[in-house]
Amino acid sequence: MNKLPDELLEIIASNLSFFDFVHFSATHTRHVSCLRSDHVIKKMLVNDKSMSLLLFERADNKVECYLRGLLWNDRQLTPDEVVNAFPDSPKSKLGIARFKANCCIRGTPLNGQKVSTEAVVEAFPDSPEGKERLAFFKAHCCLKKMPLHGQMVSTEAALEAFPNTPKGRLEMALFKAQCCLRELLLYGQQVSPEAVIKAFPDSPEGKLEMAIFKAQCYLREPPPHGRRPSLKAVLETFPDSPEGKLEIAFFKQGCCLRGLPLGNPVLPHMVAKAFRNSPGGQLEIARFFGQCCLRRIPLRDQQIRPGDLLNAFPNSARGKLERAHFKAACCLRQPPLAGREITPDDVVKDYTAAKAILALVRFKAECCLNGLPLKRQAICADEVGRDYERGGWLAERDDFYSRLKQKASQLNDDNLA
């Protein structure tokens, strides 16, 4: 076996069923490293439909890890690795197109080249779901002023791209909501809140999104078009479902943080009570109390101290990440909210434990901009830039260098003054 060329081993592997491969690998691959590679395993698995589906889910997991800036199996993924992980199947075409869209939006290169909006449009398959996701991308281009074929995408072109499907109609209503909130013109006229409400489909998802939109109009300052909906109109719109109750809790949270009344002033303990009966309530309560701590909003007439909150976050993967975000926010406050209680080194340790590589780079960038040392040493801007480049986060790298330049210019102006 050791003397067989790799090409022949690949032919053997690609013609085996999954069961045969497991048996074959158990008896023969101890000394054949070729058959352990992702390349050969992927080539073999695509011949089995059930295994191809698992391979797609594995690739989708890599996408999620990369986009969230997390390590995958304790190592940092590259964008090219993510794309190459997808099996050769119709379902993968949509997955690859969606990932390319994210790369385009983030300025992340693939195969050493920037992903253009035109390349993303060409990548979406001609299927109902492909058309829905393509319309969503065009809407994003419109709202973020990203050119397509050398021209800005108009609100009319973005709206008309949505297909006449249940999902398409919902996304169309959500796009109209964004036009309303941003006061963008559609067919030469501003989109009124009433027009948005009429656009939501009469479905469970549509009713929930309509309630969220009404809540956004209530919380927005100033309200869109100068008209704030009545509190009763907002509260009675939320459906009586677990999702509806969770959104009511988020609405109460928004009112509390903005000082808006719900008949009576909304106090932090009332918000916590609303979250307590929702999925993931412990995490949301901890995050909310973190916001109260940062904004110095008291809980039952007592200021919340950062140290009291650290054990409130659940000991889950997301809980650990949110705890790290809170500690980072405390540390970056000027002056630091926790004094010497939370140091930059503590935050780095937590982000490393959470395997949140992108969040770690962002925190190091903020420390660099604010002159905070790590391990008693100043952070080199080029080191931060290289960290962004290693992950393919070039848009964020450019934003960091731009802010660094502005900071230097401001310091020069202050010195001259």
How high is the pLDDT of residue 64?
93
Q: What is the dihedral of CA 134, 137, 138, 143, to 10 degrees?
A: 160
pLDDT at res. 409 = 83
φ, ψ for residue 221, nearest 5 deg: -130, 115
At 10 the pLDDT is 66
Q: Taking Cα atoms as reference points, which of 337, 336, 338, 364 lies closest to residue 349?
A: 364
In this predicted structure, what is the pLDDT of residue 415? 63
Q: What is the pLDDT of residue 74?
A: 85
Supply the pLDDT for residue 283.
94
CA separation (Å) from 171 to 109, 144, 205, 234, 277?
Answer: 28, 17, 11, 21, 29
pLDDT at 411: 74
**pLDDT confidence of residue 20:** 67
Residue 246 is predicted with a pLDDT of 92
Q: What is the mean pLDDT of each run of 10 residues along the chain (417 residues)?
A: 64 66 57 52 58 80 92 89 88 95 93 94 94 96 95 96 94 96 94 95 95 94 83 90 92 92 87 86 94 92 88 92 95 70 91 95 96 93 95 93 90 65
CA atoms of 359 and 349, how far apart (whole Å): 12
Which pLDDT value is given to residue 188? 95
Contact 99, 83 (CB under 8 A): yes
379 DSSP 8-state letter: P
Beta-carbon count within 10 A of 144 CB? 9
Give DSSP secondary structure letters for 15-28.
Answer: TS-HHHHHHHHHHH
pTM of the model: 0.81
**What pLDDT is stored for residue 3 in this prediction?**
61
What would the 3-class secondary structure string for 260-307 be?
CCECECCCHHHHHHHHHCCCCHHHHHHHHHHHHHHHCCCECCECCCHH
The three state secondary structure string of 350-375 is HHHHCCEHHHHHHHHHHHHHHCCCEC
Q: What is the pLDDT of residue 88?
A: 83
> What pLDDT does residue 30 have?
45
